[in-house]
């Protein structure tokens, strides 16, 4: 794995790759996997998932952070105030398009993987950047937030309660950053033990609990509530044969009724359900990685993904 920081759409952006760095010419590679994360868009949450993909598939794997979601002492990002267009949903989509235009060579085909709001971003990228559509072999949408976010159980909680206490959460995150490192790690270790979450998540969570990052994370979440409303058939109809959806039977952001709505409105769509939770990277990144790997292999062999069991 190789990590680095590049400027995309005016924002320093963290990138992690397996198999080939973004500035390599990729002349020996015909296919590439590009992962667009959920919110928060911190790349290291996806390490286990993407390492599993790379270990089972013979192609490079890339992921980039969302603009402003991954910060550190080694990078300074433009402030949210006065730069909302960089960090809102439209800005994040533009951020992904600029990355693809700059770093993916024209001879390379793409397998997209979108998680949560990353699925919506991919649909918008395919609409707003039509030149790339012909090079997309398949887009795998994991626990996709592509409709009625505010109406979901978690959306109601966020809109009714959490968005009003965001300033308090950001202030507490600033207090957290002032604590000694060993205290911060101990607090997170205890929390993840109670939540039965893998301890590998401590490091990316420490990066996330940063006032600069959290402001942008919550700002994007509030945008999602306003923008991702009724299912937009135009986003799907034009690329229906390139899409595969993966829903959870117990998802607070994407109720199973949304899966049923999608199947009813688009009978040709490929979709499966699972019992993995929405934030799968916290406890089942490897398991979901094996599933996606199997689907990509089946795609290359001509099998339909929905004929396979997960």
Confidence grade of residue 301 (pLDDT, cut at 50, 70, 90): low
Task: Judge whether residue 290 has pLDDT over 70.
Answer: yes
Q: Which runs of consecutive H residues, i.e. helices, occur in 129-165? A: 153-160
Q: State mean pLDDT over 219-226.
A: 97
Q: Which residue has the higher pLDDT, 300 or 252?
A: 252
Check pLDDT > 50 for residue 283.
Answer: yes
> What would the mean pLDDT of 190-217 be, rounded to a whole number?
89
Amino acid 192: pLDDT: 86
Considering only residues 7 and 199, tell me which one the structure prediction assigns the higher pLDDT: 7
Task: Note whether residue 164 is domain-resident.
Answer: no
CATH number for position 49: 3.40.50.1820
> What are the residues whose beta carbons fall under 8 Å from the beta carbon of 233, sequence distance 6 or more?
265, 266
**pLDDT of 30-74, one tens digit each?**
999 999 999 999 999 999 999 999 999 989 999 999 999 998 777
* pLDDT score at 194: 86
> In the prediction, which pLDDT does 191 show?
87
For residue 66, tell me if it sits in a domain.
yes
Helix (H, G, I), strand (E, B) or coil at 177: helix
User: Total domain count for the chain?
Assistant: 1
Residue 66: DSSP 8-state: P
The arithmetic mean of pLDDT across residues 183-209, rounded, is: 89
144-155 burial string, b = 16+ CB within 10 Å, else e? bbbbbbbebebb
| pLDDT value of position 91 | 97
Please indicate, yes or no, if residue 48 is contained in any of the structural domains: yes
Q: Where does the pLDDT of residue 307 fall: very low under 50, low under 70, confident under 90, or very high at 90 and above?
A: very low
Q: Please list the active-site residues.
A: 116, 251, 278
pLDDT band at 303, cuts 50/70/90?
low
Tell whether 204 is covered by a domain: no
Dist. CA 24–CA 225, nearest whole Å: 38
pLDDT tens readout for residues 244-272: 999 999 999 999 999 999 999 998 899 99
Is 8 among the domain residues?
Answer: yes
pLDDT at residue number 306? 46
Proportion of the chain above pLDDT 70, given as a percent? 97
Partnered with residue 39 across adjacent β-strands are none
The answer to whether residue 161 is domain-embedded is: no
> Does the bond joining 115 to the residue before it have cis omega, within 30 degrees of 0?
no
State the Cα angle at 301 between 300 and 307, rounded to 5°.
Answer: 105
- 240-251 pLDDT tens trace: 999 999 999 999
Residue 238 in this model has a pLDDT that exceeds 80: yes
Q: Which of 91, 26, 90, 92 is nearest to 62 (CA)?
A: 26
> Over the stretch 78-110, which tens digit does the pLDDT of each residue have?
999 999 999 999 999 999 999 999 999 999 999
> The domain containing residue 54 runs over which residues?
2-149+231-307
Across all residues in the chain, what is the average pLDDT? Answer: 93
Per-residue pLDDT at 299: 84
- Looking at residue 304, what is its pLDDT? 54
pLDDT at 256: 95
Whether 44 is covered by a domain: the verdict is yes
pTM of the predicted model, to two decimals? Answer: 0.94
219 located within any domain: no
């Amino acid at each position: 794995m190789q990590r680095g920081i590049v400027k995309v759409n005016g924002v320093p952006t963290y990138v992690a790759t397996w198999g080939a760095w973004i500035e390599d010419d990729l002349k020996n590679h015909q296919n590439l996997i590009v992962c667009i994360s959920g919110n928060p868009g911190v790349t290291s949450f996806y390490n286990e998932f993407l390492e599993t993909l790379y270990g089972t598939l013979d192609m490079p794997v890339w992921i980039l952070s969302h603009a402003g979601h991954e910060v550190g002492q080694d990078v300074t990002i433009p402030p949210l105030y006065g730069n909302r267009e960089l960090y809102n949903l439209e800005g994040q989509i533009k951020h992904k398009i600029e990355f693809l235009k700059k770093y993916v060579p024209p001879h390379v085909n793409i397998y997209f993987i979108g998680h949560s709001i990353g699925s919506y971003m991919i649909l918008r990228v395919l609409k707003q950047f039509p030149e790339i559509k012909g090079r997309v072999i398949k887009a795998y949408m994991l626990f996709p937030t592509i409709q009625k976010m505010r109406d979901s159980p978690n959306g109601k909680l966020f809109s009714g309660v959490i968005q009003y206490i965001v300033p308090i959460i950001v202030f507490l995150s600033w207090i957290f950053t002032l604590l000694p490192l060993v205290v911060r790690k101990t607090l997170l270790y205890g929390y993840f033990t109670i939540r039965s979450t893998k301890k590998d998540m401590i490091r990316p969570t420490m990066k996330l609990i940063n006032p600069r990052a959290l402001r942008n994370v919550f700002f994007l979440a509030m945008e999602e509530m306003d923008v991702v409303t009724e299912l937009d058939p135009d986003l799907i109809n034009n690329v229906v044969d390139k899409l595969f959806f993966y829903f959870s039977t117990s998802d607070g952001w994407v109720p199973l009724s949304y899966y049923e709505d999608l199947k009813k409105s688009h009978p040709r769509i490929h979709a499966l359900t699972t019992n993995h939770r929405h934030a799968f990277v916290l406890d089942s990144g490897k398991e979901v990685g094996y599933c996606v790997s199997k689907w990509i292999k089946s795609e290359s062999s001509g099998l339909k993904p929905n004929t396979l069991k997960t």
